[in-house]
Structure 1
Amino acid sequence: MRNLARLSAVGASTAVLAAGLVAPAQAAATSWGACPTGPGVDARQECATLQVPMDYRTPGGPTISLAVSRIRTAKPALRRGVLLIIPGGPGSPGLNRPSVQVERLPQDVLDRYDIVGFDPRGVGRSSPVSCGLETRDLSLTRLKPYPGADGGIAENVAWSRRIAEACARNGGPLIRHISTRNEARDIDMIRRALGEQKISYWGVSYGTYVGAVHATMFPERTDRAVLDSNDDPDPRRVARQWLANYAVGVEDRFPDFATWAAARDGEYGLGADAAAVRRTFLELAAGLDREPRPWPGADGEELSGNLLRETMLNALYSDANFPMLAGLMRAALTSGELPPPNTPPAAALQNTAAHAGATMCNDVEWPSSVERHRRQVARDRAAHPLTAGMPVNMGPCAFWPFEPAERPVRVSSHGPANVLLIQNLRDPSTPYSGALKMRQAFGQRARMVSVDSGGHGVYLANGNACGDQAVTDFLTTGNLPSRDKAC
């Protein structure tokens, strides 16, 4: 990729730096080239590289690279500006999102915006970060901190210490500067480099929090913000609350799967009604806790109760995954052949784990009491057995060696009314109850469209014409609904 801009903030005023911002960029040349080829990369997608400060407090210091992409509108006469797609995670890449979304976005939107993507700092083709974790620590049932089969957390405590120490040892200087505030600043640098006075964006999942932080830090530079599948922005807890919300979200969403499976009891044999399917799942998970099954192709992992729980959580993101989960449960119950697992590559897990950990730990302080976590896990296992205490268990942030450089942003109602929230009622990852907190934080800046659907991701994701049209109308006209809307 080529240099998009080499932005200099030398000479920024003391007042600007005190606010945590960077002075306007000096003149910069724009140079776009071909994107790295790969499956699904649209021939129209262009790529470039943007240099930004690693530490915005020292804008004349070392820089890092941001990989940026775009697909320009085919109708420049109708062009309003750019629509940036903010990926979720933390740790998800976004460079090729324009290629994906131009196949889905309505023509009215494509006519008005260049669709822009990026890999966040530390991710993918942007300057990447890695903690050099041991293979044993990349297990899917470690990266989310599931307790032991008996509810004990001793292994989680040891794992958490190893991860924190590995990140301190191997993460390099960049790992200290990965945070949501800095991603919001990076987005403003992308805006400047593109020559835009304001920027519109569509953030999904963690991208909603990034978008909310950007809209709070840079309200006058935010055009139209669509926040899809919303995180709870509680500034006292931030990612601690996001993890805790898995317990709520899975309980909200599992009945959709259970009802679906019960309607196909003749095929899968999981239970004749939703309550029976739930009992089957809990009994199967408990049995696999006691006696895991070999799972060929799972990189040496066995199908344990925790791996079944993690597979279930991921399956609840979309109705399209229900047959896979039901088939896995049936095979485990009947000692049949297990379907092949979908295991991410180790390199991707290394990058995602490092970026996610750095973001969550650098954004806010975490409690470090082992006994406190032990009590929380015991209570949560009883209240939310589907997730078995994972959402409140101990993780690496309890032992993170770096103090947060800044306090979390308090999302506020100060700014223009230009934020549209869209939310499924039954989201396993970012539950409706948390999205209501985001709605409350924005006050009259925002409106919320609630969609009577399950899964993670709303706009153009589940065929709800009412919700989709509300977002399209906002992006094309700028008009928010007169009041919150149910679809």
Structure 2
Amino acid sequence: MNLTQRTALTLALSSAAVVTASVLTVPTATAATAAPAGPAGSSLSWKPCPADLGGTAGTECADLSLPLDYRAPDGPQVTIAVSRLRSDRPEARRGTLMVVPGGPGGSGRERLARRGAQLQAATGGAYDLVSLDPRGVGGSTHAGCGLEKDDLELTHLRAWPAADGSIDANATRARRIADACTRNGGAMLRSLSTANEVRDIDSIRQALGEKKLSLWGTSYGTYVTASYAQTHPGRTDRVLLDSTGDPDPSRVGRGWLANMAGGADDRFPDFARWAADPARDRRHRIAERPEDVRGVVLAVARKLDQAPEQDAAGRPRLTGNRLREALLQSLYSDAAFADVARLVVTARDAGDTPVPYDPVYLPDSDAAVFLGVVCNDVRWPRSLPSYARAVAEDRRAHPLTAGMPVNVEACAFWPDGPADKPVRITPQGPSNVLMVQNLRDPATPHRGALKMREALGDRARMVSVDAGGHGAYLASRDTDGPARECADRLATAFLKDGIRPDGDTLCR
């Protein structure tokens, strides 16, 4: 099975309230310490977007030259690629809505190309819709680590322990990756961080001539968005956080990865029900009862742990960790259930016969962006024994992910500490935030979103959605239809009319 289309590394119950609503009021906030100034007087020269970007007719693209290092604004520059879909109802326009992509490593221009028409229709033309390819991504200036192909395989870049739980090989690889990034990444790699994406977004705001931005951040983009709102409280209009991680500034990316173990456990029962449904054919039905699916999957993975990664001719084979990674990726969306169920059934029925497999390899630039952001944002522990202990404990508690979420990564060998202190999200600022969050999100679990909700205090309201998968607003309604329709209705009312629920709400 080929899973190359799902290469994202992304990196997810409060008390229910009666769905009553009030018109949002935004009190005046005191200004926070500002980031270094952006390109005052910069302008954007819009032109039709490249044909290969696709998307809604009328979407425009532009490039903005910004400092590689904002502390040296007259020094080397990077190009940030921006796209825009202008309001189709100028009389209804209230401002600009910035679509902030996830990742780290997601393309905002691609997201706007896919979702622009849907978002424009939902919000009734209330906004010019704008997004960016963050530095290192897509049409923006690229970064690179010069990694070997084997190190770019997803189950190697994202460190899965050995069959016996050992992390020795992971530590060796992590050190090699960090050394390559240090040797080849240069100042561009060092510039990849949440703090610089926040600065880039504010520079785009200035170039657009907007006093304020509304923002819709998804996944990792929620941390970028929340950091922007914390750093520039007076420059935010309406803020929608969709699929949010724990904003603990001492952990940041390390914490998001660690939380995926529990997120996979939360989400797996949805897959188990699907894979035990009598409507499935024999190629996809893993067990007769949902409660038996987990045991079958774990048994197949253990059997595959004995398989080599390649056959004698160098052709890749399915291994236990490749199966676990495929399962984890499939939990993001019900649409991927069929592929991974077929893979489990094939491996189960193959006996001792090797199962061919097409591994996922990330482009070097994508790997560099992911590593650059998560390693530059916060210092990671250096002690290998501490990682070994964490992996042993996590493997016992969460067999589906087998210790990967807490394993040693290249960040443990990163040579430099953070260039910027991570932003601490606080209750100080305008009460203009709405959160939407699936209860069973494998990437940004609900429990992590509750930490963001707690940090924001009365600045936010939270809509929890009785649904599974990653991404809550304008997501597929193939399953959990009423809950998703409820969430879409509340989020759209907020973006369009400034109306939020009076309290935290559960959409069933």
TM-score by length of structure 1 reads 0.91
Q: What's the CA shift string for 1:283-322, capped at 9, x where partnerless?
A: 0000000125869xxx943211000000000000011111
Over residues 240-281 of structure 1, what are the superposed CA-to-partner deviations in whole Å (9 max), with x where a residue is unaligned? Answer: 110101101000000110111111366334212222100000
Give the Cα separation in 2 of the matches to 1:477 and 1:50: 31
The residue number in structure 1 matching 2:316 is 301
Moved over 6 A (4+): 336-342
CA distance in 2 between partners of 1:275 and 1:105 (Å): 39
1:371 corresponds to which of 385, 392, 406:
385
| CA drift at 1:189 | 0.6
Matched, 1:214 2:228: yes
Q: Tell me the equivalent position of 1:3.
A: none
Cα distance, 1:353 vs. partner?
Answer: 1.0
Residue 317 of structure 1 corresponds to 332
Give the 5 Å matches for 1:348-427. Answer: 349-427=363-441
2:219 aligned with 1:199: no
Alpha-carbon distance change, 108 to 160 in structure 1, aligned in 2, over 3 angstroms: closer
Q: Aligned partners of 2:77, 2:415: CA distance in 1, in Å?
A: 23
1:29 to partner: Cα distance: 3.6
Q: Which residue of structure 2 aligns with residue 122 of structure 1? A: 136
**1:303 partner SS:** coil
Deviations 1:168-188 (A, max 9, x none): 111021111111111111111
Counterpart of 1:435 (choices 426, 443, 449) is 449
Letter in 2 for 1:68: V
Aligned position for 1:4: none
CA spacing shift, 1:59–1:332, aligned 2, 3 Å: same
| Aligned pair partner of 1:249 in 243, 247, 263 | 263
1:332 to 347, 357, 362: 347
Match of 2:301 in 1: 285
What secondary structure, in the 3-state scheme, does the structure 1 residue paired with 2:82 have? strand
Matched residue, 1:273? 289
Does 2:243 correspond to 1:225?
no
Cα deviation, residue 416, structure 1? 0.7
Distance in 2, matches of 1:441 and 1:408, equals 14
Answer yes or no: is 1:475 the counterpart of 2:500: no
Partner of 2:275: helix, strand, or coil? helix
CA deviation profile, 1:194-250 (whole Å, cap 9, x unmatched): 111101111110001100100100111011111100011001111111010110100
Contact map agreement 1:69 1:96 (CA 8 A) in 2: no
Residues 330 and 237 (structure 1), Cα distance of their counterparts in 2 relative to 1, 3 Å cut: same
| Counterpart contact for 1:119–1:126, Cα < 8 Å | yes
Deviation at 1:350, TM superposition (A): 1.0
Which residue of structure 2 aligns with residue 5 of structure 1?
none
Of the three residues 461, 465, 470, the one matched with 2:485 is 465
Is contact 1:124-1:351 (8 Å) kept?
A: no
Superposed CA offset, 1:64-112 (max 9, x none): 1100001111111111111111111101112232221123226251511
The match for 2:194 among 164, 180, 183 is: 180
Residue in 2 that maps onto 1:12: none
Query: Is the CA contact (8 Å cut-off) linking 2:34 and 2:231 kept in structure 1?
Result: no
Letter in 2 for 1:414: Q
Matching residue of 2:150: 136
Aligned to 1:190: 204
Whether 2:89 is the aligned partner of 1:75: answer yes
CA distance in 1, matches of 2:337, 2:116: 27
Please give the secondary structure, in 2, of the residue aligned with 1:68. Answer: strand
- Report the residue type matching 1:430 in the other structure: T
> In the alignment, residue 347 of structure 2 is paired with which amino acid?
A
Question: 2:17: which partner in 1?
Answer: none
Q: Decide whether the 8 Å contact of 1:102 with 1:110 is kept in 2.
A: no
Cα separation, 2, equivalents of 1:458 and 1:29: 34
- The Cα RMSD (Å) is 2.1
Counterpart of 1:151, as a letter, is G
Of stretches 370-379 and 56-65 in structure 1, the one that deviates more from structure 2 is 56-65
What pairs up with 1:451-462 in 2 under 5 angstroms? 451-462=465-476
**Residues of 2 paired with 1:290 and 1:157: CA distance?**
21
The equivalent residue for 2:253 is 239
Query: Higher mean Cα deviation, 170-179 or 435-444?
Result: 170-179
Match runs of 1:76-95 below 5 Å: 76-95=90-109
Q: What do the CA deviations read for 1:376-421 (whole angstroms, capped 9, x no partner)?
A: 1111111110000001100001000112112111011111111110
Q: Which is further off, 281-290 or 403-412?
A: 403-412
Structure 2 stretches lacking a partner, 5+ long = 1-31, 478-483
1:112 has 2:126 as partner: yes
2:325 match: secondary structure: helix
How far has the Cα of 1:479 moved from its partner? 2.1
1:169 counterpart = 2:183: yes
Letter matched to residue 281 of structure 1? V
1:485 maps to: 505
Identity %: 51
Q: TM-score, length-normalised on structure 2?
A: 0.88
